[in-house]
Amino acid sequence: MIVDQYFSEPNGHVCFTREQGSNFAKHMAGDFNPLHDADARRFCIPGDLLFSVVLAKYGVSQHMEFDFSGMVLEGVELVLPEPSEELKIQDTEKRDYLQVRRGGDLSRDETLLQSLTQKYVEFSGKSFPHILVPLLAEKNVMINAARPMVMYVSMSIDLDTLDIENPSLCSDYSKIEISGRRGSVELGFNFLERDRIIGRGKKCMILSGLREYDKAVMDAAIVDYNTIKEAFASR
Q: Break the chain into its structural domains and give their ranges.
A: 4-233
Residue 235 pLDDT exceeds 80: no
What's the rounded mean pLDDT across residues 171-185?
A: 94
Residue 82: what are its φ and ψ, rounded to 5°?
Answer: -65, 150
DSSP, collapsed to helix, strand or coil, labels residue 107 as: strand
Identity (one letter) of the amino acid at 49?
L
Structure confidence at residue 69 (pLDDT): 92
- List CB contacts of 84: < 8 A, sequence separation 6 or more: none
pLDDT on residue 29 = 86
pLDDT digits (tens, 9 = 90+) for 210-232: 999 999 999 998 998 888 888 77
117-171 pLDDT tens trace: 999 999 988 888 888 999 999 999 999 877 878 888 999 999 999 999 889 999 9
CA 50 vs CA 4, 19, 72: distances in Å: 12, 15, 9
In the chain, % of residues over pLDDT 90: 73
pLDDT in tens, 70-117: 899 999 999 999 999 999 999 999 999 999 999 999 999 999 999 999
How many Cα atoms sit within 13 Å of 180 on the Cβ side?
Answer: 3
Distance (Å, whole) CA 40 – CA 28:
19
In tens, the pLDDT along 11-49 reads 899 999 999 999 999 989 888 888 888 888 888 999 999
- Please give the C-alpha separations between residue 164 and each of 93, 124, 147, 221, in angstroms, as whole numbers: 39, 20, 40, 39
> How far is it, in rounded angstroms, from Cα 111 to Cα 122?
17
CATH class of the region 4-233: alpha beta
